[in-house]
Copies of this chain bind each other. A is one copy, B any other.
């Protein structure tokens, strides 16, 4: 019997541990796309310090590719797992990136697995690849890649994965594919004890709302002030910004048919002692002058709110979104070639930079 083949796009902290887990029990053939780290990983493999797997040296997935085009030789793939950062206001979009490796053959289509932040990130994929199954994973892990091949994995790999209905494939088939993927992704010791915790989620949208309570609030306010979570609290921004945003997410989630528990805000604000002085991803990005996931975390959320008729009830989300879109404007511009700014003032009323798109 041949193993299912998995292509992993995005080998940062999250993608590399996913790669290792998929290889661990020898139930899949794994190909990883590595850009800048291709040479060092080819030569030395990954070095992983893992809370789940201990000290691992010289880890290489079955195939290593320099690019998507290069990876295609190892296809077709049963699964394409995407764990890249998702910057939806910058080209190319995820659907464009993965197009060359999402294939359709008689009786078997590539399943796309999104292990990324945000909400409604599955829609563009479902639209771009009709009839393909799209799985959506919400990952809780603390895993950081540094130096090209070193991974510090300090919090258990914990993910819930489910399908987002593509309206073409029978629901039972989509569910079966999700569960099959969870089976090959879940790892066990030689004595059968589970290691990582990958569970089936029959409502990934609820999971995404839950994660947004944190990501839309702390992530945004930390990026806006350039402070970590503890300093955000000390500076008064937790009361004035973070909690109001959290309340708006809880409100939207409920309006969307996904009621979150009453206690979620208190839990997220007070509960996680290990997150003191924590730098959320958008803060890390803005400090490095890299694009933030502002569209998938805030933009999509606000659009859902508008569609629900809740546009007037989410002022904090809209305000922080606009600030961060401004900051993002500067970041994308500094990446080069993004915008042609007018030589004279030329400020057209109501025009904002969403009308520009990066062309490279």
| Interface hit among A122-130, A154-162, A342-350 | A342-350
| Interface hit among A98-106, A134-142, A143-151, A229-237 | A229-237
Q: Name the CB-closest residue of B to A325.
A: B235
A260 at the interface (CB under 8 A from B): no
- Asked, given contacts A225-B327, A225-B330, A330-B226, whether A352 binds B322 with beta carbons under 8 Å apart, the answer is no
List, in ascending order, chain B residues with CB within 8 A of A231's CB.
326, 329-330, 333, 341
Chain A, range 274-332, C-beta contacts under 8 Å to B: 276, 318-319, 322-323, 325-327, 329-330
- Asked, given contacts A224-B224, A318-B240, whether A234 binds B351 with beta carbons under 8 Å apart, the answer is yes
Question: In the complex the two chains form, is A326's CB within 8 Å of B235's CB?
Answer: yes
Question: In the complex the two chains form, is A227's CB within 8 Å of B330's CB?
Answer: yes
Q: Name the CB-closest residue of B to A244.
A: B319
Choose among B224, B239, B319 the residue that contacts A350 (Cβ–Cβ < 8 A).
B239
In the assembled complex, the CB of A328 is this many whole angstroms from the nearest CB of chain B, namely 8
- Asked, given contacts A227-B330, A330-B227, whether A234 binds B352 with beta carbons under 8 Å apart, the answer is yes
Most chain-B CB neighbours within 10 Å: which of A235, A238, A333?
A: A235
Question: In the complex the two chains form, is B345's CB within 8 Å of A234's CB?
Answer: no
A241 at the interface (CB under 8 A from B): yes
List, in ascending order, chain B residues with CB within 8 A of A345's CB.
230, 273, 276
If over half of A's interface residues share one DSSP class (helix, strand or loop), that class is named, otherwise mixed; here it is helix
List, in ascending order, chain B residues with CB within 8 A of A350's CB.
239
Question: In the complex the two chains form, is B327's CB within 8 Å of A234's CB?
Answer: no
List, in ascending order, chain B residues with CB within 8 A of A3's CB.
none
Question: In the complex the two chains form, is B234's CB within 8 Å of A353's CB?
Answer: yes
- Asked, given contacts A236-B326, A330-B226, whether A319 binds B352 with beta carbons under 8 Å apart, the answer is no
CA–CA, A323 and B224, complex, Å: 7
CA–CA, A271 and B266, complex, Å: 48
List, in ascending order, chain B residues with CB within 8 A of A230's CB.
341-342, 345, 347
Choose among B226, B233, B325, B341 the residue that contacts A236 (Cβ–Cβ < 8 A).
B325
CA–CA, A347 and B351, complex, Å: 42
List, in ascending order, chain B residues with CB within 8 A of A224's CB.
224, 323, 326
Question: In the complex the two chains form, is A237's CB within 8 Å of B347's CB?
Answer: no
Q: Name the CB-closest residue of B to A331.
A: B226
Question: In the complex the two chains form, is A233's CB within 8 Å of B322's CB?
Answer: no
Question: In the complex the two chains form, is B322's CB within 8 Å of A240's CB?
Answer: yes
- Asked, given contacts A226-B327, A230-B341, whether A241 binds B347 with beta carbons under 8 Å apart, the answer is no
Q: Name the CB-closest residue of B to A269.
A: B347
In the assembled complex, the CB of A283 is this many whole angstroms from the nearest CB of chain B, namely 11
In the assembled complex, the CB of A200 is this many whole angstroms from the nearest CB of chain B, namely 34
CA–CA, A276 and B343, complex, Å: 9
Question: In the complex the two chains form, is B329's CB within 8 Å of A234's CB?
Answer: yes
Known pairs A230-B342, A231-B329, A237-B322. 6 more at Cβ < 8 A? A227-B327, A234-B352, A235-B353, A236-B352, A236-B354, A273-B345
Query: What are the nearest 5 A-B pairs in CB distance?
Result: A225-B326, A236-B352, A235-B326, A235-B329, A240-B322
